[in-house]
Structure 1
Amino acid sequence: MAAELGQQTVELGAMVRLAAEESYLALRELVERSRAEAEAEAQGKEGVRLRSDTEKKIDLLKFVDRTRQRMLRLHVLAKWCQQVQGSL
């Protein structure tokens, strides 16, 4: 039936891997940016805009919120898959 509607199926494991990779890359980017700022500050480089502690905390909270939303969506999708599989 899914093929008739032109829809494609995707393995849940692939979705989980993709979400984990995206979260990992976002966290890695956040850490690398903070590390680069810390190195620039330690070397006394001028012209480099340093974020305040508040800005860093906000960026971290945004990351946590995006990751939480992504994992919640995966959880809902997994529950829905269980229900669909049980009804077949």
Structure 2
Amino acid sequence: MRAIFIATALLLSSVAHADSSKPDVYTYGTKLDVASVLSIKLKPTPNCEVTDAVMTYLDSAGHKRQLAYRTLSDTCKNQN
């Protein structure tokens, strides 16, 4: 009986972890709960243009989350 409980708990944990790997998509007005930013990854591009980004962060409960959004590329920082 205990082995079944442990196996079920491990299965549910792996399913929850699989779902958390897909980032939420930001839309205007989305309420964010960001306690600490872990990383921000931008899709590289040689031109100054809008590109995709993913922010990995911890929320106030300590859960690791990801948020996908659109932003200007790093190339834009070097242009006037």
Q: Which has the higher strand share?
A: 2
Q: Normalising to structure 2: TM-score of the pair?
A: 0.33
Bigger share in helix: 1
Task: From the CA coordinates, give the structure whose radius of gyration is larger.
Answer: 1
Query: Taking CA–CA contacts closer than 8 Å with sequence separation of 6 or more, which of the two structures ends up with the larger relative contact order?
Result: 1
